[in-house]
Amino acid sequence: MREEIIIAGFGGQGVIMAGKLLCIAAMNEGKFVSHIPSYGAEMRGGTANCSVVISDVEIGSPTVPKPSIAIIMNTPSLTKFESKIKPGGLLIYNSSLIDRKPERTDITVVDLKANDISEAEGSDRAANMAAIGKLIALKPEIASMDAVVTALDVAISARNRKYNDINIKVLKAANSSK
């Protein structure tokens, strides 16, 4: 198994942390991982993104020019990354904020109302957790829910760990969503 993942959105949506969380969870299950954050110009309204590689074998290159999976949290990121996904790949997009449907027909497209799920569980800041919850439902070989939940205490800063109960609720709600 080798998955090359792009997670992208506006700065402040937690896309970098979501990539870190996935890597910690997968690493704790014995997989090889790499995580490259790209902060870009998010302070000016641009996209922030990270490249994540999760593999059963050592990783030769951490770059992700053609991801097998993309988690897209906003419209500018959809515009930037949709065309780069490998044919046969997976696109999970946040339809709570993205105002158009993806155009690709050669990939699996999953419409996830990430912000709506987060808000329904009591937080307006955990859409990234909804995206991770849905990803591991669709691709359980990446990491188990237990590994992701355990990784929260490492990935989340000490001052924000008080929100982990709600993060877990959002992860599980998206994981079981249709």
Segment 11-21 shows an average pLDDT of: 94
pLDDT at position 45 is: 58
| Single-letter amino acid, residue 19 | G
2-10: strand order across its sheet: 32-38, 47-55, 2-10, 69-72, 90-94, 108-112
Within 2-143, strands assigned E span 2-10, 32-38, 47-55, 69-72, 90-94, 108-112
CA contacts within 13 A on the Cβ side of 33? 19
pLDDT over threshold 60, residue 43? no
Q: Rounded to 10 degrees, what is the CA torsion of 160, 93, 46, 22?
A: 40
pLDDT value at position 49?
95
Residue with tokens 């957790």: 129
Tell me, rounded to whole angstroms, the distance of Cα 114 from its chain centroid: 11
Residue 83, pLDDT > 80, answer: yes
Domain range 2-175, CATH architecture = 3-Layer(aba) Sandwich (3.40)
Rounded CA separation 111/148 (Å): 22
pTM over 0.85: yes
Tell me the domain boundaries of the chain.
2-175
Query: For residue 41, what pLDDT is reported?
Result: 61
Q: What is the mean pLDDT of residues 89-107?
A: 97
- Kindly report the number of other CB atoms within 10 A of residue 65's CB atom: 10
Confidence of residue 39 (pLDDT cuts 50, 70, 90): confident
Tell me the per-residue pLDDT of 148-169, one tens digit each, with 9 for 90 and over.
999 999 999 999 999 999 999 9
25, 87, 96, 122 from 172: Cα distances, Å: 15, 29, 18, 13
Residue 44 pLDDT > 60, yes or no? no
* Structure confidence by residue, pLDDT tens digits, 109-124: 999 999 999 999 999 9
